[in-house]
């Protein structure tokens, strides 16, 4: 390896050697707030669908198209966002995606019909799809290796905060008036303002800066974190270094399927596909499924809120276990737990069984999401890390497109029991796929 390609390892090693500081916390909370706002937007649409079914007399097909349109945008946005993040930087893409989906969410509140709402949900999806893998990549490249998995699970746990906010808004705002769903979507436009804060306040990835030959900026960022930790800058690292040739850092999707990476890419895409299918199939439709099962709109929203709160302890357990069991084992166990919970939900009869099984599904499914986001950026080198994470998410969003379309068909054929048995089967396949992922617990990221 040449000296110019060894250089990033020096600053990366200095960054990895630091404890968790207030700069790490600022990055985590700043990125997590954007993550929570993402979840709030995705969660809100599930409550909007339930009201539109009543207010617009929208058919199951129309509701499925509204839900799936956002995921079509997310699939495209995830792939493009990852590529852009490896070319122009993680922070810029993060802020841009927040701005796109925030403004589009506000505009979607003005929709006068199904077709217009579908179009705006597609634009919303473009921003949402790109933001999540880029945010996890950025945070993983700063997190200390010994607790990196835990940090990413904590980042992912902001999803539960956002989804809970969506459930609160869905419970209090959506049923309050005929235009409640519009007011809910207006609230979802908050990320447009937050994007400015993100752009000005968060650091750019040191590993990305190094790969682009921007050594002065990389050095300044490392010193900023060292100062926060009270660590003196090593004098041997101060000298300016020759720039890394840009050709060495350009991301290509084909690299994901090179001999050294194809097995992990295949396993990762399989897990992302299956988890997305079951998660979005279940939770996007949950309020509507409860209404169709005989519960009132307000009561179904209340039950959904209770079920959603169980996501938080699921994340907490996952955050602890990823640094004790490792990412792969934690992911597989939580996926098996998700499968069992899905079967129990499909068999649930009375209200207590519905809520209990739903809470178990929230606990295990979101714990699995935390472990999945922890392992995803770890398995690729810096030059294609965001690309790898983005494309995995993009493949997952294909399943998220299919799931809302499949739910009405499966429910008509075999009811809620068949529907959640299918979700359980996808969770089992995902658990088997997780066993093909490399274990990166406590290991420094590849430069």
User: How far apart are alpha carbons 190 and 188 in whole angstroms?
Assistant: 5
373 CB-near residues (< 8 Å, 6+ apart):
132, 136, 152, 153, 155, 156
Q: Residue 47 is encoded by which pair of tokens?
A: 């409550």
**Does the predicted model carry a pTM greater than 0.85?**
no
**Alpha-carbon gap, residue 443 to 446, rounded angstroms:** 9
**Which residues have C-beta within 8 Å of that of residue 62, sequence separation ≥ 6?**
114
57: left (phi over 0), alpha (psi -120 to 50) or beta: left
Q: Which two tokens stand for residue 321?
A: 């276990």
Q: CATH homologous superfamily of domain 257-446?
A: MFS general substrate transporter like domains (1.20.1250.20)
CATH superfamily of 10-231: MFS general substrate transporter like domains (1.20.1250.20)
The model's pLDDT over 398-429, given as tens digits with 9 standing for 90+, comes to 998 888 788 888 888 988 889 999 999 999 99
Q: Encode pLDDT of 323-352 as tens digits.
A: 999 999 999 999 999 999 999 998 987 788
Using alpha carbons, select from 81, 190, 77 the residue that is nearest to residue 123: 77
Q: Where are the domains positioned within the chain?
A: 10-231, 257-446
Q: Are the folds of 10-231 and 257-446 the same?
A: yes
Residue of 290, 265, 276 whose CA lies nearest to 402: 276
**56 three-state secondary structure:** coil
Task: Output the pLDDT for position 1.
Answer: 36
Provide the H-helix boundaries in 233-326: 262-283, 286-292, 297-309, 311-321
Specify the residue for token string 């060292």.
226
Residue 241 pLDDT exceeds 60: no
Q: Cα separation of 104 and 89, whole Å?
A: 23
């Amino acid at each position: 390896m040449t000296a110019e390609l060894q250089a990033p390892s020096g600053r990366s090693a200095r960054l990895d050697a630091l404890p968790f500081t207030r700069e790490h916390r600022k990055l985590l909370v700043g990125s997590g707030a954007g993550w929570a706002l993402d979840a709030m937007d995705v969660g809100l649409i599930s409550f909007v669908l339930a009201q539109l079914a009543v207010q617009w007399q929208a058919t199951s097909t129309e509701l499925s198209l509204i839900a799936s349109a956002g995921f079509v945008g997310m699939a495209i946005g995830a792939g493009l966002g990852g590529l852009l993040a490896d070319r122009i930087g993680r922070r810029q893409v993060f802020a841009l995606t927040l701005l796109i989906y925030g403004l589009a969410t506000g505009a979607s509140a003005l929709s006068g019909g199904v077709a217009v709402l579908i179009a705006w949900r597609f634009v919303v999806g473009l921003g949402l799809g790109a933001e999540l893998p880029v945010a996890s990549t950025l945070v993983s490249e700063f997190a200390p290796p010994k607790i990196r998995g835990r940090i990413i699970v904590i980042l992912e746990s902001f999803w539960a905060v956002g989804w809970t906010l969506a459930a609160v808004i869905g419970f209090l705002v959506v049923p309050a008036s005929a235009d409640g769903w519009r007011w809910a979507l207006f609230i979802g436009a908050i990320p447009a303002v937050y994007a400015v804060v993100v752009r000005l306040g968060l650091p750019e990835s040191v590993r990305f800066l190094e790969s682009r030959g921007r050594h002065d900026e990389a050095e300044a960022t490392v010193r900023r974190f060292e100062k926060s930790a009270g660590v003196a800058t090593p004098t041997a690292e101060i000298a300016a270094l020759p720039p890394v040739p840009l050709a060495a850092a350009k991301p290509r999707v084909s690299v994901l399927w090179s001999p050294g990476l194809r097995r992990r890419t295949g396993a990762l895409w399989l897990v992302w596909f299956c988890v997305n299918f079951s998660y979005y199939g279940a939770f996007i439709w949950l309020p509507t499924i409860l209404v169709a099962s005989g519960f009132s709109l307000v009561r179904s929203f209340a039950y959904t809120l209770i079920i959603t709160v169980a996501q938080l302890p699921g994340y907490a357990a996952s955050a602890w276990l990823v640094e004790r069991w490792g990412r792969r084992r934690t992911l597989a166990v939580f996926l098996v737990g998700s499968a069992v919970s899905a079967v129990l939900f499909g068999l649930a009869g009375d209200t207590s069984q519905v809520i209990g099984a739903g809470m178990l599904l929230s606990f295990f499914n979101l714990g699995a999401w935390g472990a999945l986001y922890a392992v995803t950026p770890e398995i690729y080198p810096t030059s294609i890390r965001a690309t790898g994470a983005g494309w995995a998410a993009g493949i997952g969003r294909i399943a998220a497109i299919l799931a809302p379309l499949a739910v009405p068909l499966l429910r008509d054929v075999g009811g809620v029991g068949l529907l959640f048995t299918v979700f359980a089967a996808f969770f089992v396949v995902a658990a088997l796929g997780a066993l093909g992922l490399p274990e990166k617990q406590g290991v420094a990221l590849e430069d």
